[in-house]
Amino acid sequence: MTFELGVYSFGNTPRLADGSRGHTAQAIRDMLEAVKLADEVGLDHFGVGEHHMRAMPLSSPTSVINAAAASTSRIKLSTAVTVLSTDDPIHVFQQLSTAAAIAPGRIEAVAGRGSSTITFSLFDHDENDYDMLYASKLELLMAVNAGENVTWNGPHRKRPLRNATVFPRPEEPLKIWLGTGGSPASVYRAVELGLPMFLGILGGTPEHWAQYGHAYREAWTQVGHPTDRADIAVAVHGFVADTSAQARSTYLEHEHRMMAEGMVELGRPAPRRADRSAALAPGGMVFAGSPDEIADRILHLHGLLGHTRQILQMDVGGMPQRDVLHGIELLGTKVLPQIRAELA
């Protein structure tokens, strides 16, 4: 498979000159500017995440994907992830199918449970139903994607579907990934359902995450799925600047701010700055550095994990848009050519 490189975003509410936060609407406009540039510089993929907070206000990824589909020409677009436990899988399918009509062959879905439970109270769901809702809704999303006439029943619905039709439809079925933060149960659920695996990674080491790749492929082979469909994608924090020192100092400042403020909104303790600094080192999983360093580190992880796609979250903590755009440009014009040349 061709290795794909790209970026992803949850939105990045800007900072004003006095240090206060700007408007969340600007974060949406900035993200659309970023995806347009990613398309122009040759990146393969842009993932649109889902959070429901002031610092990262991209709460409707399928809406943004429709806008991005109309303003780009070649880049693949996906949710990253859709918090399926508290969303409606039929609506998700319909919205992504609409985007697929605008951008045929370029639209995908990553379905996950979400990194927090904030959406349960927001959308009036019972947090105790966390896993049931995800499993049931993922099954329905797959059923709707498989054919236009759907007969299905599951625990999250009051009424079964009997020969229901769902439109519009993509000309080819959507590629649906199972999103996970590294739960072993999710790895085996992806295998059981025959889905590609999307790993959302905040920490650890390349060697640690390689174990998940080995477990996924071993289980995949044991159940008899076609070997060439054992697909793994990786989403990490990362940033590219002209020098490694510049990339690390810029990213550490803004990532620490994002993590600290985001954890406050979620009612969790913020990680220590020293811990995140260690994650930026070559043995960690935050990919911040010069183009040469980032290319080498991605190739190293690929050698261990065998993943076919890696996307980086660059726009964090109110980082200025000019820095975000420069990082995207370097990723497409400097990093990607090195990776392609080495893998060729």
Q: What is the tens place of the pLDDT at every residue in 54-68? A: 999 999 999 999 999
Distance in angstroms (rounded) separating the CA atoms of residues 287 and 295: 10
Contacts made by residues 155-162, CB under 8 angstroms, sequence distance 24+: 156/129, 156/132
Distance in angstroms (rounded) separating the CA atoms of residues 145 and 173: 6
| Domains of the chain (ranges, CATH numbers) | 4-343 (3.20.20.30)
Name the phi and psi angles at 50, rounded to 5: -130, 115
Q: Indicate the pTM of the whole model.
A: 0.95
Banded model confidence at residue 26, pLDDT cuts 50, 70, 90: very high
Distance in angstroms (rounded) separating the CA atoms of residues 56 and 24: 8
Bigger pLDDT: 123 vs 175: 175
Q: Chain-wide mean pLDDT for the chain? A: 94
